[in-house]
Amino acid sequence: MDDEAIDPHADLMYGLEELKESRPGYDQAQMYYDGKVPEVFTSTRIRRALAIHNIDFDLNFARTPVNAVTNRLKVASITSPDEATTTLISKVWQDNQLNIELPDLFRRAGEYGDAYLMVLPVEDETGKVLRVEMFYNSPQTVRVIYDEENPRRKAYTIKKWCEGKYQRVELYYDDRTERWTTGIDSRGDQPKNWLHWPADPENEESWLIANDTGQQPVFHFRNDRPYGCPEHYGAYGPQNAINKLQQVGMGTVDYQGFPARYALTESANTDTSDLEPGDFDDGDWPFPEQGLGPSDSGDESSLKSGPGEIMLLRGFKSVGQFAAAEPHVFLDPIQFNVRAMAQITDTPVRMFDPQSSQRSGESYREEDGPFISKVENRQTSYGASLHEAFVYALRLLGIEDAVVTVDWVPAKSVTDAQGWQTVQAKIAAGVPRKQALMEAGYRAEQVDSWFPPGLDDAELQRRVEILASLATSAQQLGAAAALNVISDDQARQLMAGAIDDLELLAQAQEDS
């Protein structure tokens, strides 16, 4: 007798516990990405004042590591050697608006560390599959449970959501789908709280749905195994420091504009409680009803420290003002934490601050090395899941064992003059031209379109030289525009005209 027969709720309760334990980590990742992390203050008064005014001065750098990777994850094409299959892939893509859905999926996978793509058939009354629906699901509500003996195999998948006062759960197996529900307002923390949830109210057995595909309709996109890690996880600590520095730094701005002043007495008498009526009243204090003024405690002392305040003492000997903290006291540590964040997350510093440095293209490529490796790793991992999802979708549509290829826009490509000079040097050293261009970050199909069959070696060399010259011209025109020798519009027009002339020349040569 198997475990399921002994306890039919075992998988359900284990899956619910897994969702519960993993949820805080996903919620934390979302807060840091959204910039909603609460600041920590040693001063209760400052915390209350900011809360009353609903003020924040957040500099959310933590989302940059996520967006930097996501912006490089662009699917170039999904194709098949069979033309009819490629046409069907295009239809699935258009039906599901995957040009919008996939970037969101990749961003969420970076934000949480993993994300899920559901692939479900839409059938007519006879059971014929009309189309396939593909859509993102959050790891906050969906979790694949992997086999302990074989971590690559999905034991089952749990999906949980709420409908009004009910909690709903679906368990996806290779051969079936189970539907569960709680009673009204049930907490669902006990097996007895969970009941079968029929898809057809008139058929009590419809809570169990057969799966003839032999595969779960859930595809796991993750940047690590088994469940991934948020791309910005290493940014949590630096972001906390930045939040603190920014909030306190903004507090000192008041002191910069309205310095706190003081007055010293001639004698030792420092009694300041006997103020003349009308010297100060509650109107001089913001929100006295919240306890931010002196009237709530009966303390009418004139020893007040704050922006624009003066400490009133009897028998003034001298007066002065307190110096506010210098801005660099806060700005320098913020810059340090941004650099630390960049290093920890393998994200180039210039992606946090585009004006941080002006260096050569070669130095950029060296700095980008770890980041490009990370992006290419994500392309490999996400590409495998995307390939699996499309093969499954095509199977639902009647194509068994479809051959599918997922191509990505390269994570890097040569666009500067120095880079093209390197390409030329490789070719001069004997590296095949197609290989040199592919190493520069261009896809094989792009290179094939540039260099069609039958093109002689001299023409290949000429085209590479033209590309290098074009890059050099673009760099020089950019420098001229920076020096105001020509305007930006004139530089763009000159480059656009040169590119148009080259395209016409290439077309004329091909036609001949």
Residue spans per domain, the chain: 1-258+324-412, 415-512
What percent of the chain lies above the pLDDT cut of 70?
71
Length of the chain: 512
d(CA 106, CA 243) in angstroms, rounded, equals 27
Q: Which residue has the tokens 């001949």?
A: 512
* 360: its two tokens: 């050569």
Please determine, for residue 236, whether its predicted confidence score (pLDDT) is greater than 50: yes
Q: What is the pLDDT of residues 243-252, one digit of tens each?
A: 888 877 776 7
Outline where 54-97 has alpha helix (H): 64-70, 83-95
Give 71-74's long-range contacts (Cβ < 8 A, gap of 24+).
72/375, 72/409, 72/411, 73/103, 73/106, 73/375, 73/378, 73/379, 73/382, 73/408, 74/103, 74/408, 74/409
Range of weakest confidence among 5-19, 56-70, 299-313, 386-400: 299-313
Please determine, for residue 385, whether its predicted confidence score (pLDDT) is greater than 70: yes
Question: Would you state the pLDDT for residue 332?
Answer: 87
Outline where 157-292 has alpha helix (H): 236-257
Dihedral (CA of 349, 354, 357, 362) sign: positive
Q: What is the mean pLDDT of the chain?
A: 81
d(CA 35, CA 243) in angstroms, rounded, equals 9
CB 208 within 8 A of CB 172: no
Q: What is the pLDDT of residues 401-412, one digit of tens each?
A: 999 999 998 887
The string of DSSP codes covering 193-238 is GEEE--SBTTBGGGGEEE-TTSS-SEEEEESSSSS---TTGGGHHH
Q: What is the pLDDT of residues 72-129, one digit of tens each?
A: 999 989 999 999 999 999 999 999 999 999 999 999 999 999 999 999 999 998 889 9
Select from 476, 368, 359 the least CA-distant residue to 417: 476
Please determine, for residue 1, whether its predicted confidence score (pLDDT) is greater than 50: no
CA distances from 227 to 38, 103, 136, 152, 378 (A): 26, 19, 16, 12, 14
CB 288 within 8 A of CB 300: no
d(CA 425, CA 419) in angstroms, rounded, equals 10
Confidence class for position 296, pLDDT limits 50, 70, 90: very low
CA atoms within 13 A on the CB side of 436: 18
* 475: its two tokens: 């760099």
CB within 8 Å of 59: residues ≥ 6 apart: 242, 243, 246, 334
**Alpha carbon of residue 216 to chain centroid:** 27
Question: Would you state the pLDDT for residue 74?
Answer: 92
